[in-house]
Amino acid sequence: MIPNDLRYSREHEWARVEGNRVTVGITDFAQHELGDVVFVELPHPGDEVKAGQPMATVESVKSVSDVFAPVSGKVVAVNDVLVNEPEKVNDAPYSDGWMVVIEMSNPAELGDLLDADAYGKLVEEGGH
């Protein structure tokens, strides 16, 4: 199920908007495609990220994949729990498996993200 209250990137990140901050993680589709996540490398609080650019890395038993920033801004929080419990990305991608919180520098970039219906169609078409 794809939560309706989130926005989505074409690279399979989700974004929960709360004021000028966006909590980011990877979607259930993405974690399923990756397989068992064994390592997560996150940016540091204070790092600047740019929409569409890699900001984190997820390593699974199958591969290593970049996680892209859905919006530009400053990282204000990271989910340190994932360092010791990367499986949370698989177990709860939309809750405990969140990765970073970004303070947006350009909220207009949210308009480039997909709503749940559009993201659902992207996944149905093979995820690309």
What average pLDDT does the chain have?
A: 96
68 contacts 53 by C-beta, under 8 angstroms: yes
Q: What is the pTM of this model?
A: 0.95
Q: Is the pLDDT of residue 128 over 70?
A: no
Could you give the CA distance from residue 111 to residue 106 in angstroms, rounded to a whole number?
A: 10
pLDDT digits (tens, 9 = 90+) for 13-44: 999 999 999 999 999 999 999 999 999 999 99
CATH 2.40.50.100 is held by the domain 7-110: yes
- β 13-18/21-26 pair status: antiparallel
**In the chain, what are the domain boundaries?**
7-110
